[in-house]
Amino acid sequence: MSKTIIGIAGNKQAPGSGEFFGTTTAYTPEGFVHGIHHVGGLPFILPIGKPELAEAYVSQIDKLLLAGGQDVSPQLYHEEPHLLIKETDLERDLFEKALIEAAVAQEKPIFAVCRGMQLLNVVFGGSLYQDLSLFPEWQINHLQIQTQPIFPSHSVTVKENSTLAGLIGTEAMVNSYHHQAIKKLAPGFEAVAHSKDHLIEGIEAVDKPILAVQWHPELSFQANEKDLSLFDYFVNQL
């Protein structure tokens, strides 16, 4: 029986971590692989490559998943890097931008997590807070770095009648590992989840099969059925 093929946009890990004799590795967090397997999909990791390859990669998959990772290069939304920006990787940004554009052109669904949501927003014309200290209403710890991701740390309110509300309800608890967030929402998207300090935590495209969340369901789906439902929806319905 054929399975739904999910292309996961991969990341790279530079030498210096002590792994693999100092070579750079192409990888994705294993939670994405396990999550997609769990709901019956077939994950493939797409290694970072030249943007010209994106169309061919996307033609081989049914749906595209954008994972977390580095900050999005601020030049993609026409800003200089703020003092508090962390690592960026322009090669990854430009490859994933091309993957997004190819997926839209080929009418293939996209699910995005954390940085993936932020990059989607930028590619479609939005912008980001380069650090949460630049967000005037910042009141909540969105970087639960000392707390395991299976423990959700802050609440989100989800817009009634949105796709996301159909999956996780209008109130949910989520984990949180971000120091950036959406500032200007891209045209063609709706903010469907917010934290109590009014940061955007989930978006849906108005007329495209695209869903994205700011939290990390790949790190919590085994403990949290709501997060598992995101994988099930993406692989089997979106």
Chain positions contacting Mn ion, by CB under 5 A: 142, 176
Per annotation, catalytic residue among 114, 142, 154, 204: 114
Spacing of C-alpha 172 from chain mean position: 18
Residue nearest to Mn ion (CB): 176
Q: Is 114 a catalytic residue?
A: yes
In whole angstroms, how close is the CB of 141 to Mn ion at the nearest point?
A: 9
Nearer to Mn ion, 55 or 197 (CB): 197
What is the chain's length?
A: 238
Q: Does residue 216 have an active-site annotation?
A: yes
Q: Tell me how far apart the alpha carbons of residues 76 and 57 are, in angstroms, rounded to a whole number.
A: 22
162 or 175: CB nearest Mn ion: 175
Task: Decide whether 118 or 163 has the Cβ nearer to Mn ion.
Answer: 118
Q: How far is the CB of 68 from Mn ion (least distance, A)?
A: 12
Write down the H helix ranges in the chain: 30-38, 54-59, 90-105, 115-123, 163-168, 225-236
- Kindly state the smallest distance separating residue 125's Cβ from Mn ion, in Å: 23
Shortest spacing between CB 215 and Mn ion, in angstroms? 6
Q: Which helix (H) or strand (E) holds 201?
A: strand 200-205
Q: What is the dihedral of CA 110, 112, 116, 119, to 10 degrees?
A: 50
In the set 78, 82, 216, 225, the catalytic residue is: 216
Q: Which is nearer to Mn ion, 97 or 216 (CB)?
A: 216
Confirm whether 107 is a catalytic residue.
no
Matching residue, tokens 């910042």: 138
Determine which one of 82, 190, 218, 225 is catalytic: 218
Query: In this complex, which beta carbon is closest to Mn ion, that of residue 108 or of residue 142?
Result: 142
List beta partners, residue 154: 174
Element (H, E) at 202: strand 200-205
Considering only CA atoms, which of 20, 3, 202 is closest in space to residue 111? Answer: 202
113-122: b or e for each residue (b if 16 or more CB lie within 10 Å)?
Answer: bbbbbbbbbb
- Min CB(60)–Mn ion separation in Å: 33
Q: Which residues are catalytic?
A: 114, 216, 218
